[in-house]
């Protein structure tokens, strides 16, 4: 599973990443986290 975190690197984005990593570890889930910080890519995703 790939989890994408979309954001510019603000404190809320960093907290979301930390929470996601913690949840993955606690749940024993096999997943990777991809941070998407480029505005063009985020807009291409329809956000």
Residue 42 scores a pLDDT above 90? yes
Whether 14 is catalytic is no
Region of 9 on the Ramachandran plot (φ > 0 left; ψ -120 to 50 alpha; else beta): left
Residue 5 scores a pLDDT above 90? yes
Tell me the average pLDDT across 16-34.
96
Residue of 8, 9, 10, 31 with catalytic role: 10
Q: Which residues, at least 6 apart from 46, have a Cβ–Cβ distance to it below 8 Å?
A: none
pLDDT tens-digit readout, 7-21? 988 999 999 999 999
Contact 7, 16 (CB under 8 A): yes
Whether 1 is catalytic is no
């Amino acid at each position: 599973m790939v989890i994408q975190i979309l954001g510019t690197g603000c404190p809320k984005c960093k907290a979301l990443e930390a929470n996601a990593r913690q949840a993955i570890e606690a749940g024993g889930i096999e997943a990777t986290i991809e941070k998407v910080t480029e505005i063009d890519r985020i807009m291409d995703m329809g956000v």
